[in-house]
Chains A and B, each alone.
Chain A
Amino acid sequence: MKPDRERKIRLFEQMLLMRRFEEMVIRLSTEGHVLGHFHVYTGQEATGAAILDLLQDDDLILSTHRNHGHIIGRGADPGRALAEIMGRVDGFNGGRGGTLHLCARSAGFLSTSAVVGGSIGLAIGAAYALKESQGDAISVAFFGDGALEEGIAFESLNIAALYDLPVLFVCENNSGGAAGAAAGEYPSSEMHAKQLIDIPGSLGIRSEIIDGADVSAIQQTVSGVLAGIRARRGPVFLETRTERWPGSRPLWPANLTGFTDLSMAWDKSKISGEYAAWIKNDDPVLLLAQELVETENVSQATILEIDQRVVEQMSSAREFALDSPLPEAATALSGVFAGKDHSGTPSRSSH
């Protein structure tokens, strides 16, 4: 099923929210509000938005260090997400997790693990629990191409296939282009397989390669496989390919392509500079805006209105996050075990 006009507009707004969110994260970092290293989802918005849009409320999601887009794309509050990235008490994790570990359980997230390949293993566990339950919920694992370098990927894929576990594996391959070791940067994916999907394919897992910047292609494929996963007929593996965003430098993200100017979607003459090729050919947000205007009869004004709404939403999110206090030092040891209140006294007898 390809998305219709209204759905595409909705997906566009979700993608734009992810984009404006990451632009805000980088801005807050530049202003000194973000501690430590972080990873952004810029350039991969179409993948997250298109897949999350097709999921049920009771599906469970596992993500990685590059989780921001997944969290807010699933409808979790961007203000609380920003607060967590700044370590504030109103963050999803109360400031304990930070950017690498944003976890919104109410939105179906069990973990965003920074252990490479971690989400793959946890997702088969979630799927195992879901398979035993009565419903048709599934688990979804988001991970990067580098995760397949870890042994846990193979072990988990094998178990998922053996037991027909209801899990959708989404390998977001952002290693396209010249990034990685060849450019003298942090080593990117190093996998001696002709195709990444040959790895799950060798275990008999249905596997597909999709253009990760094309919401229609993604939704067509995903909607075609979800019913089988929900019917417990076995896992499915998707490789979604995107060109790496130039600002996703390995050491520290930098907004090299600038604050996204949506008018570039219909006025290509505005695109220039060192990163023009990515902006013109690979920016999924601009590509969808262009499609909406050119083939779906959406006015430029409508696009800009959506943007205004998103920018205002991000502005409130920023305000909410900056207003949120830092946690009290005295709470540092609360929350190590379940079933205890903040003073460390058992709130119910679980031990």
Chain B
Amino acid sequence: MAYKTYAEALIDALYQRMANDADIRLIGSWVLGLGPQRDLVDRIKDDFPERVMDPPASEAAVATLGIGSAMAGARPFVDIGTASFVFEAWSQIVNEAANAHYMSGGQISVPVVFHMLHGLRGGGAAQHSHSPQGMFWNCPGLEIVLPSSPRDVKGLMNAAIQSNNPTIVLDHAKLLGIEGEVPDDDDFIIPFGQADIKRQGGDVTIVATSLMVQVALEAADAMSQEGIDVEVVDPRTIVPLDKETILSSVEKTGHLVVVDEANISCGIASEISAIVAERAFASLRAPIIRVARPDSPVPFNAVLEAELTPTSEKVQAAVRKVLT
């Protein structure tokens, strides 16, 4: 085990996969955005210069460059940059990548990864703060990966790059700097569809993804001071989704809070709440509570942004409420 930042673990995985497989190409090398860790990408550019392309600001064409090349046998890793920019490539990902395998009767597979940085990052305002995971979830055919820790991003990146399906990897911009233990094994893989119980507890289940896992863990620590025992379940991938781990946890605790940074309507929290309501209703001892971003564009101002952001305090309030 080594102690690494999320950004280091992410780049380690990408580097190792490119070292192992000459078919992998990096299209767009600003994988870590413009933040302080951005230089970590340099060793990929230095060691595989012929397999790194920095395309123009042409998201639609760049997406189909990835999709078309994947259909033809390459294994591209396409970095979109800020997740808000993916809307420029929406038709290509939704209409082409997501549909191709099914629509071709299984003749065509599209082993492309689309990577992007999502979420509220402080002053990003309405056009740089999106968390489009719920929108992607509405497009059958895409695998959707939401890592929450340095360990997970390594294992999930390794799985994403080896997947034969179009795969969306969403990293929260605020996760890049967090540190944690990461397995040394270069081939460490976390298979898709395996939720992780990030914290064991018996009173309340919190289901959270991406940065919200960290927020939920912080809330759970605070609640333990009050003698409330919170279990934090991190699905890690929402497509495929490990429903059984979520349902088992809710059957044990009888209480569910779902935390999601995307908008509350039609987001991850909505779907997970619906699944639990359908399949574990009898176990619930209180109505499910969703802690998510209210339905509004994201404001620039820090006070307004904070008002809309799911925080540890808001999660704690929800946990108290679900138990009363």
Interface residues of A (CB under 8 A from B): 35-37, 87-88, 93, 95-101, 113-117, 146-147, 149-151, 181, 186-187, 189-191, 250-251, 326-333, 336
* Sample of 6 A–B contacts (CB below 8 Å): A95-B301, A181-B54, A329-B307, A332-B294, A333-B296, A336-B297
A7 to B12, CA, bound (A): 60
Interface string of B109-144 (1 = CB under 8 A from A): 000000000000011111110000000000000000
CB pair A113–B127 under 8 Å, yes or no, is yes
Q: Which residues of A contact B54 (CB under 8 A)?
A: 181, 187, 190
A251 to B35, CA, bound (A): 9
B2 lies within 8 A of chain A by Cβ:
no
CB pair A115–B301 under 8 Å, yes or no, is no
* Chain B residue at minimum C-beta to C-beta distance from A326: B303
Interface residues of B in 11-62 (CB under 8 A from A): 30, 34, 54-61
CB pair A114–B58 under 8 Å, yes or no, is no
CB pair B125–A151 under 8 Å, yes or no, is no
Interface residues of B (CB under 8 A from A): 30, 34, 54-61, 85, 88, 122-128, 294-297, 299-304, 306-308
Q: Which of B128, B294, B301 contacts A326 (CB 8 A)?
A: B301
CB pair B57–A101 under 8 Å, yes or no, is no
CB pair B304–A35 under 8 Å, yes or no, is no
CB pair A101–B300 under 8 Å, yes or no, is yes
Besides the known contacts A329-B303, A332-B296, 10 further A-B residue pairs in the complex with CB atoms under 8 A apart:
A87-B301, A95-B300, A96-B126, A98-B300, A146-B56, A149-B56, A327-B304, A329-B304, A332-B294, A333-B308
CB pair B125–A98 under 8 Å, yes or no, is yes
CB pair B300–A151 under 8 Å, yes or no, is no
Given contacts A36-B122, A150-B58, contact A87 B302 (CB under 8 A): yes
Q: Which 5 A-B pairs have CB atoms at the shortest separation, nearest pair first?
A: A36-B123, A98-B300, A87-B301, A149-B56, A95-B301
A146 to B57, CA, bound (A): 7
The smallest beta-carbon distance between A146 and chain B, in angstroms, is: 5
* Chain B residue at minimum C-beta to C-beta distance from A329: B307
Q: Which residues of B contact A149 (CB under 8 A)?
A: 56-58
Q: Which residues of B contact A146 (CB under 8 A)?
A: 56-57
CB pair A114–B296 under 8 Å, yes or no, is no
Q: Which of A87, A114, A329 contacts B127 (CB 8 A)?
A: A114
The smallest beta-carbon distance between A231 and chain B, in angstroms, is: 34
CB pair B303–A327 under 8 Å, yes or no, is yes
* Chain A residue at minimum C-beta to C-beta distance from B59: A150
CB pair B299–A35 under 8 Å, yes or no, is no
CB pair A333–B126 under 8 Å, yes or no, is no
* Chain B residue at minimum C-beta to C-beta distance from A95: B301
Q: Which residues of A contact B297 (CB under 8 A)?
A: 96, 336
The smallest beta-carbon distance between B303 and chain A, in angstroms, is: 5
Q: Which residues of B contact A101 (CB under 8 A)?
A: 125-127, 300
Q: Which of A114, A187, A327 contacts B128 (CB 8 A)?
A: A114
CB pair A151–B122 under 8 Å, yes or no, is no
A327 to B300, CA, bound (A): 11
A113 to B307, CA, bound (A): 24
Given contacts A97-B125, A115-B88, A332-B308, contact A35 B58 (CB under 8 A): no
CB pair A186–B56 under 8 Å, yes or no, is no
The smallest beta-carbon distance between A30 and chain B, in angstroms, is: 16
CB pair B123–A98 under 8 Å, yes or no, is yes
A187 to B126, CA, bound (A): 24
Q: Which residues of A contact B34 (CB under 8 A)?
A: 37, 186, 250-251
The smallest beta-carbon distance between B108 and chain A, in angstroms, is: 24
Q: Which residues of A contact B58 (CB under 8 A)?
A: 149-151
CB pair A332–B57 under 8 Å, yes or no, is no
Q: Which of B30, B127, B301 contacts A327 (CB 8 A)?
A: B301
Most interface-central of B30, B56, B85, B301 (chain A CB within 10 A): B301
Q: Which of A35, A96, A332 contacts B122 (CB 8 A)?
A: A35
CB pair A332–B299 under 8 Å, yes or no, is yes
